[in-house]
Amino acid sequence: MEPTPELLDALYRDKVIAARQRTPEQKFLAAGDMFVSLIERMRMGIRMQSPQANEDDVQRELHRRFEISRILEHSRESQ
């Protein structure tokens, strides 16, 4: 069963409210946790797309994707 749009909105609202109540230190630490989580999800995605990839391959692809992101961001800033 899929969550309803109302439930998704309520969950998002609760996350926003909780984030606003955090101290600056808690926000800083949460950002690090979110970054680590993002990297792991990216690694899982690469492994799903390329099941034969070893850890070196996954690391190279991760760096390649970050470089593409950096180039795209730079090009947006230049416009």
Q: Write the pLDDT tens digit of every residue in 20-67.
A: 999 999 999 999 999 999 999 999 999 999 999 999 999 999 999 999
Is pLDDT of 78 > 90?
A: no
Residue 4 lies in a domain: no
The model's pTM: 0.68
Going from the C-alpha of 30 to that of each of 35, 36, 41, the distances in angstroms are 9, 10, 16
Query: What is the reported pLDDT for 18?
Result: 93
The pLDDT of residue 1 is above 90: no
52 domain residue, yes or no: yes
Given this model, what pLDDT does residue 63 score?
Answer: 97
Q: Is residue 7 part of a domain?
A: no
Structural domain boundaries enclosing 28: 23-78
> CB-based burial of residue 62 (10 Å sphere; 0-12 exposed, 13-18 middle, 19+ buried)?
middle
Domain count, the chain: 1
Q: Is residue 68 part of a domain?
A: yes
Residue 34 belongs to a domain? yes
